[in-house]
């Protein structure tokens, strides 16, 4: 990674040449993984998908990875940690977080051992339904990004992000938004609070309502129209060393993103 100008933190690959080496943490359908595999297939000298890991064993994304010849790891996070929604009281929530950190620290050690044998990873992409804390965040600080199906530039009157958590599409629809979009952000240990690098094109809600069924239909459409271009732009920009974080912050406290040395508004590069 090249040196960043004073007062900024560069985001980019560890090596100045060679393909970008990517690991993906998955939970669901594999749509974002498919975007990365498409990049690999079209430009194998520029992009490699080296490893795919999941917190479970039944995600469709694991089958996508296996069909593409990518090494896959499964786990049983829920058996080890339990469920956050079932954690009882302050002690129960603390216990859940401790177990979740232990689980991800074990994953960190496994990845470190893998890297010692196979070479370092440049970027970790999350399409992942669990919060990460601990050593894994430290190892990939500035090199872990998350695809989030909500517009993270939407703030309340106190400067807090509104469309965070597990159901941002339905939240947006319930609030009367006429479109939804995907945000790709740097994972920093906060809950969907990291610097937003890019937002995909908006996807019109049209006649769909804020029901679970319509929200899922909207999210599936968003995976193609917004997720794919958002992730592809971000990964290409990361590989090219076009991204950096300024020392300054936006109203919500997230770092200002620089693209080609120029500051962007909250939301980073907006596509569409």
Per-residue model confidence as pLDDT tens digits over 12-55: 999 878 999 999 999 999 999 999 999 999 999 999 999 999 99
Portion of the chain with pLDDT greater than 90, in percent:
90
Per-residue model confidence as pLDDT tens digits over 115-170: 999 999 999 999 999 989 899 999 999 999 999 999 999 999 999 999 999 899 99
Indicate the pTM of the whole model. 0.94
Q: How far is it, in rounded angstroms, from Cα 182 to Cα 228? A: 9
Q: How many CB atoms lie within 10 A of CB 97?
A: 16
pLDDT of 2 over the 80 cut: no
Q: Enumerate domains of the chain plus CATH numbers.
A: 8-270 (3.40.50.170)
- Predicted confidence band of residue 1 (pLDDT cuts 50, 70, 90): very low
Query: Among 270, 241, 126, which Cα is nearest to 194's?
Result: 126
What is the overall mean pLDDT for the chain? 95
Higher pLDDT: 74 or 15? It is 74
Q: What is the 3-state secondary structure (H, E, C) of 156-181?
A: CCCCCECCCCCCHHHHHHHCCCCEEC
As a whole number of Å, the CA-based R_g of the chain is 18
Report residue 225 as tokens: 């129209």
């Amino acid at each position: 990674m090249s040196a960043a100008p004073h007062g900024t933190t560069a985001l980019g690959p560890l090596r100045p040449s060679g393909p970008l080496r990517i690991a993906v943490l998955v939970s669901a359908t594999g749509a974002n993984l498919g975007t990365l595999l498409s990049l690999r297939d079209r430009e194998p000298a520029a992009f490699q998908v080296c490893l795919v890991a999941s917190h479970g064993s039944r995600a469709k994304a694991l089958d996508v990875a296996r069909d593409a010849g990518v090494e896959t790891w499964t786990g049983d996070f829920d058996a080890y940690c339990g469920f956050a929604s079932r954690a009882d009281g302050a002690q129960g929530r603390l216990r859940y977080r401790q177990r979740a950190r232990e689980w991800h620290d074990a994953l960190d050690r496994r990845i470190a051992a893998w890297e010692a044998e196979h070479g370092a990873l440049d970027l970790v992409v999350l399409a992942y339904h669990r919060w990460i804390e601990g050593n894994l965040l430290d190892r990939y600080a500035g090199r872990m990004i998350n695809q989030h199906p909500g517009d993270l530039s939407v703030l309340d009157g106190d400067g807090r992000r509104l469309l965070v958590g597990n159901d941002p599409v339905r939240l947006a629809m319930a609030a009367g938004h006429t479109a939804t979009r995907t945000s790709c952000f740097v994972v920093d240990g906060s809950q969907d609070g990291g610097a937003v690098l890019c937002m995909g094109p908006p996807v019109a809600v049209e006649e769909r309502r804020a029901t679970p069924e319509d929200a899922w239909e909207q999210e599936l459409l968003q995976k193609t129209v917004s997720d794919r271009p958002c992730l592809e732009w971000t990964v290409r920009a990361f590989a090219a060393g076009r991204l950096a974080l300024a020392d300054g912050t936006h109203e919500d406290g997230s770092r200002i993103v620089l693209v080609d040395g120029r500051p962007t508004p909250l939301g980073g590069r907006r596509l569409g």
